[in-house]
Amino acid sequence: MIHLKNYNLKNSNTFQIDCIAENYYQIEHISELNQSDIFNNNFFKYATIISGGSNILLKSNKLNNVISFTNSDIIIEDGSNEKSILLRVGAGKNWNDFVRYCVDNQFFGLENLALIPGNVGAAPIQNIGAYGCEQESCFEYLLAYEIETNKVIKLKGDECNFSYRNSIFKESKGKYIISEVVYRLSKLPFFNLKYEELKKYIYTKYNKSFQLIDVYNAVCDIRKSKLPDPTLLGNSGSFFKNPIISKVQFNQLNIEYPLLKSYNYDDKSVKISAAFLIELLGYKGKKYKNTDAGVYEKHALILVNHGYATGQDVFDLSQEIIDKIFRKFNIILEREVNIL
């Protein structure tokens, strides 16, 4: 364990927001949490867990206790067979490095989630997804420290309450600390090309003759064309969830806005493009008042820090967008990022 005092989290969050952690703990193994007198229920009452900092907005300029896991091991678990492999991954493993490891070893299932920023420990919390795939499709179970009992527990997929960009870990904040995640990947070739843009890109470039690495590269190409590199322009990827509305409300909106992008969610609901709504309000490429917070010029779903924005600046911009979307379209826009 490494303990740092008054540590600036600017390089520990992809928005590149200045925020001081009065106590910053780097944890290699989860057993360290119950081997020290420091970590008790009172400690965790005011603790923040950061895993790569890719899906958070540090609204506060100071936090008390911050924990980050550094374990990045990938271990082949018992339970692998000729059709699939079971991989146990440390929470501190960079997500894209893990995806690339799978691709390089011909393990199929997570390639559509290439280049998503952050670490493996954050993936189940957000149930990250992109291009027609979510991490739950390959999720087997995870190991977590249950704060109330001071025990390491195992949670399977059906216990995690996965849904669109949601899980039990978002619904019950401050209850669990994820240390390792286990995924089952296929050894047999299969590709998820349900997302039309990805399918079109691959078929155009490879003429239906493609390999796993080609799908990975295609996803990377598409993401790079739309999304800013957080090392160059502070951001946390998609800031808002795509709203899910009734088909009745969608049909009414579609009359006035026939170009509104939509995807069937279930028999009664439709998922629509939040970026489209934000663009209609004229926010794309604009800065917020006299601050460095803004909306990315290539994708309206991305809020960015042009250099010196505070977490409060970004939050205020997001709130203004939420309020205007509701007044204009009677749609409640939800933040995808966690506000700290």
- Catalytic residue annotation: 165, 238, 336
Distance of CA 58 to the CA centre of its chain: 15
Distance of CA 80 to the CA centre of its chain: 27
CA gap 144, 43 in Å, rounded: 17
CA gap 215, 250 in Å, rounded: 32
CA gap 277, 271 in Å, rounded: 12
What DSSP designation does 298 have? S
Angle (CA) 197 184 198, round 5°:
5
Alpha helices in the chain, H assignment, sequence order? 41-45, 95-104, 123-126, 168-171, 196-206, 212-226, 247-256, 274-280, 311-329
CA gap 186, 109 in Å, rounded: 6
Q: How far is CA 234 from CA 12, 17, 244, 295, 326, in A?
A: 11, 8, 28, 11, 27
Closest listed residue to residue 298, CA positions, set 226, 223, 237, 229: 226
Burial of 6 (0-12, 13-18, 19+ CB in 10 A): exposed
CA gap 12, 44 in Å, rounded: 20
Helical (H) or strand (E) element with 143: strand 139-146
